[in-house]
Structure 1
Amino acid sequence: MQINNIESFLEYYSKIKNRTRKLFDYVPPEHIEWTYQEGKFSIGDIIRHLATIERYMYAETVQYKPSLYNGCGTTYAKGYDEVIMFYNTLNKESMDIFSKLKIEDLNNKCKTPGGIDITIWKWLRAMVEHEVHHRGQLYLYLSILKVKTPPIFGLTSEEVILNSE
């Protein structure tokens, strides 16, 4: 899928972000820093990572600037409410930056932190894939904690089977 229009992309991306954001409502506040294994991202780390990578890597590089990503630890935000507010604040900053992209920008190349030149629309597409990847991690973490989460598109796998011929 090629991105030809920043407005339609941002509308689509907002829907992706909202599905991730909905999942935050199911995170037990006392488990915001829970992780399945020491040294791995906690739930809060994942949420902070989504915020910081979007704002400080993707939003910087599409402006032809170097990445400013510097991790996702509790120094950015600590505690459930602060983590969610941090995520929302950085997402708004990122969306403001992305909304200024012109069609010619989408077809220009920016430099990734790995030193690779990539077409900006492809870089934005990678950002969506990155978001979805970490949303999947959040679903898994919550499953391990035995938190019942809603199906992402309305039906569970079992309900789709029941409704199929």
Structure 2
Amino acid sequence: MKNFNEVGKITLAYFISTIVYMIVLNLVVKDELITTRESLRVEWVGTLAFSLVLLLLVWIFKMKFKTFLIFLGIIFLLFIPLTINRESIWNSLWSTPDTPVFIYLTSLSLVTTLPFHGLIWSLTGYRCLDLLNIIFPSYLIIMGILGYIITKIRGLIKKE
């Protein structure tokens, strides 16, 4: 892995973690067609599995903390279009919801932030979706702190 650059490492880690997210979600969620509050409440397990696998791969691939932090920032920026009030933006820009810019931006956001949708669905199941704008940045901050701890522990182990 010495010749593999940082962008490739984080992309590979994200891809593997996303696959683990989908596998865990397939095992945990029993009702595929019926979305009840009870079935939505277990969706956070997939996001937890994604987070643990991603942090493990950060450790294994020996990524730099700066790369991981930039990755979390990009995820945060890609998540914003899913949480904003689109109707007010459309009215302020004098455009319609089918403007290609909004369609492409929403599609890109949906695909790239797939592992975090378990968090959205869990909050929907608990009827706390209004807290998403607080919980998601808090989740990313906690991931950043854990990534920092992992890179520092790896550095301490390397020195010994």
TM-score, normalising length: structure 1: 0.28
Q: Which of the pair has the greater relative contact order for Cα pairs under 8 Å at 6+ separation?
A: 2
More helix by share: 2
TM-score, normalising length: structure 2: 0.29
